[in-house]
Amino acid sequence: MPSFDIVSEIDIQEADNAINQARKEIEGRFDFKGTETEIKWDRKEIVLIGDDEYRMEAMKSILQSRFHKRGIDMKVLKFEKAEPAGGKLIRQKISLAQGIEKEVAKTIIANLKDAKLKVQAQIVDDKVRVNSKSIDELQTAMGLLKKGQFDIPLQFNNMRS
């Protein structure tokens, strides 16, 4: 039976490249000279440390532009509230959304059911598997989901006939 998987993944290497480019740009900018600004990255979350609100916003803007230029969807960046980091420093954590959460997966399945397509969808770990007897129905489901507005970027892979 033909099927495909709906996933939400990012290329960690591209994210790493975007963060390194942002670091280099911040090091080279005149308005950051002599300031305590830093971008930390541990493959799960990004931590921005700056000494005032202006520089924090500038670092976020640089980081977002680098992610965009690398082809990574901005929806993967989940910004937490900025907090004091001791002294006059400010810290802001940014997590990277990987995988589809249960609530979002249920919304995806509900959208497919509401469209009255002849497909079956089920949640498998952090992805959604969609089955159908017809490849045309699967392609229609993909088109429907591409138009949908979700809080995470969706990719379709593992297409089997």
Domain of 45? 12-96
How far apart CA 58 and CA 32 sit, in angstroms, is 10
Residues 84 and 113 in one domain: no
Residues 82 and 135 in one domain: no
In the DSSP assignment, the letter for residue 76 is G
The confidence score (pLDDT) of residue 43 equals: 87
Query: What Cα–Cα distance (Å) separates residue 159 from each residue in 14, 48, 139, 149?
Result: 24, 38, 10, 22
Residues 62 and 40 in one domain: yes
Report the domain count for the chain: 2
Residues 28 and 59 in one domain: yes
What percentage of the chain has pLDDT greater than the value 90?
A: 60
Name the strands in the sheet holding 127-131, side by side, starting at the edge strand that comes first in the sequence. Answer: 120-124, 127-131, 3-7, 155-160
Out of 96, 126, 149, pick the residue that ends a domain. 96
pTM of the model: 0.82
- Average pLDDT of the chain is 91
Confidence band of 125 (pLDDT split at 50, 70, 90): confident
The confidence score (pLDDT) of residue 26 equals: 93
Q: Which stretches within the chain are classed as H helix?
A: 12-28, 53-69, 102-114, 135-147
The confidence score (pLDDT) of residue 34 equals: 86
CB 37 within 8 A of CB 50: yes
The confidence score (pLDDT) of residue 130 equals: 93
Structure confidence by residue, pLDDT tens digits, 130-143: 999 989 999 999 99
Residues 75 and 107 in one domain: no
